[in-house]
Amino acid sequence: MRFPRVKAEHRPFRTMDGTVRIGGEIYGLAAEIDDPGGWVWAALCLLDGRRGPQEVAARLVLMFPGLGAAEARGVVDDLLASGYLEEAAAAPPPRGLTARELDRYSRNQAFFRGVDLVPGHSAWETQLALKQARVVVVGLGGTGSHAAWSLAAIGVGRLHCVDPDLVELSNLNRQLLYSEADVGRPKAALAQARLSRINSDIVVTSARHRVTCEADLRSLVRGYDALALCADEPRGEGIRVWASRACAAAGVPWAGGGYNGPLVTVGVFDPPNGACYECVAAAEQTRRAEGGVPDLGGGPGVTGASAGISGHLVAQAIISLVTGVPEVPPGYVHGVNLLSPDHHVYARHPARPGCATCFGP
Ligand SMILES: [Zn+2]
């Protein structure tokens, strides 16, 4: 970087014991740096976009007589590699985004700027990656309609929506893509039309189709960059196992969401990067005798809030899978318990030795 400065979102502060905290209050984003000599703090103050790294290092040497030139450069280099700095002169947006898209997605860009700690990475590149992404959403009920809306709104370039069902009145407490006039009509075509009206800068397609087997799902995900699995039928050794095996065979990452009453979860998988769904589920089954177990399957009780959280957890996982921002290694289930704000559902387990999905046949 020629003239680096600390990103506004990551403005640092010092604690009473001399530790420098940078990246704000967000766990996983912020870092605490031991700074007994005050060098790091001084470097951060000097990194204001008006001088280059060499000048900052030279000024540090002048400010702190005990600090060698190599050490000073090391302090600056560590900060440059941290992802908390940006080039003062903002890079032009990459080719491939129109002026209308730059306006439409400006809040996305601000979000990605804050959560992306890849040094030198432009948030507009993340938006471009979304534009180039192809995502298939299977299931357009409570979870799926929120997930599909979220993915369309954020600008996923190609979205394919799959569902076999007709809209029922009892769907309308949570399925935000449909209205009373839609009762009795196929969800897939309605979702396509609604999403196209929400974002005409993307391509939305649909199919009225019921997934009936693993091979069926495998042909559905072919040519896509990720699967958002928002259907939960058939249960048990059903659609999630099909998704796990079909996606692994096709090399397609996937996220599956659902709810069991107030327990709302998403599973995110891309073996061999992390264990597959069956490995994580098997490990949780083993724990069942000891207590609770995250359950991806849904019960009949659901509200707009619980379905919405589920759908948006899926959408967030898909965004991370297709852009790498924020970077969250797959192979886990997480979620929330709406009865207990202090209960974070979380399961990550190693792959089972010999698992064909994780390691190949
Ligand atoms: Zn596995």
Q: In this structure, what CATH number is given to the domain that contains residue 153?
A: 3.40.50.720
Query: Do 34 and 180 belong to one domain?
Result: no
| Cα 222 to ligand 1 centre (Å) | 21
| Cα 227 to ligand 1 centre (Å) | 18
Query: Do 52 and 153 belong to one domain?
Result: no
Query: Do 149 and 80 belong to one domain?
Result: no
| Cα 357 to ligand 1 centre (Å) | 5
Q: Give the domain-ending residue among 87, 115, 144.
A: 87
pTM as predicted:
0.90
In a domain, 20, yes or no: yes
Q: Give the domain-ending residue among 87, 108, 141.
A: 87
Instruction: Tell me how far apart the alpha carbons of residues 61 and 70 are, in angstroms, rounded to a whole number.
Output: 9
In a domain, 297, yes or no: yes
Q: Give the domain-ending residue among 63, 87, 111.
A: 87
| Cα 331 to ligand 1 centre (Å) | 9
| Cα 359 to ligand 1 centre (Å) | 7
Domain that holds residue 264: 133-359
| Cα 251 to ligand 1 centre (Å) | 14
Query: Do 59 and 178 belong to one domain?
Result: no
Query: Do 239 and 150 belong to one domain?
Result: yes
In a domain, 280, yes or no: yes
| Cα 74 to ligand 1 centre (Å) | 42
| Cα 213 to ligand 1 centre (Å) | 19
| Cα 241 to ligand 1 centre (Å) | 11
Instruction: Tell me how far apart the alpha carbons of residues 30 and 44 are, in angstroms, rounded to a whole number.
Output: 15
Query: Do 82 and 207 belong to one domain?
Result: no
Quick one: three-class SS letters along 84-146?
CEEECCCCCCCCCCCHHHHHHCHHHHHHHHHHCCCCCCCHHHHHHHHHHCEEEEECCCHHHHH
CATH number at residue 10: 3.90.930
Give counts: helices (H), strands (E), the chain. 13, 13
| Cα 252 to ligand 1 centre (Å) | 15
CA distances (Å), origin 278, targets 5, 130, 257:
45, 28, 15
| Cα 214 to ligand 1 centre (Å) | 16
Q: Can you give the pLDDT of all 361 residues of the chain as single tens digits?
A: 889 999 888 889 998 888 999 987 777 788 899 999 999 999 999 999 999 999 999 999 999 998 999 999 999 999 999 989 998 887 788 889 999 999 999 999 999 988 888 887 888 999 999 999 999 999 999 999 999 999 999 999 999 999 999 999 999 999 999 999 999 999 999 999 999 999 999 999 999 999 999 999 999 999 999 999 999 888 767 999 999 999 999 999 999 998 988 999 999 999 999 999 999 999 988 876 655 545 555 557 999 999 999 999 999 999 999 999 999 999 999 999 999 989 889 999 999 999 999 998 7
Query: Do 82 and 139 belong to one domain?
Result: no
Query: Do 189 and 329 belong to one domain?
Result: yes
Query: Do 51 and 142 belong to one domain?
Result: no
In a domain, 103, yes or no: no
| Cα 295 to ligand 1 centre (Å) | 18
| Cα 235 to ligand 1 centre (Å) | 19
| Cα 153 to ligand 1 centre (Å) | 33
CA distances (Å), origin 69, targets 52, 63, 328:
15, 12, 36
Domain count, the chain: 2
Query: Do 275 and 140 belong to one domain?
Result: yes
In a domain, 92, yes or no: no
| Cα 269 to ligand 1 centre (Å) | 10
Query: Do 241 and 320 belong to one domain?
Result: yes
| Cα 168 to ligand 1 centre (Å) | 37
Query: Do 153 and 79 belong to one domain?
Result: no
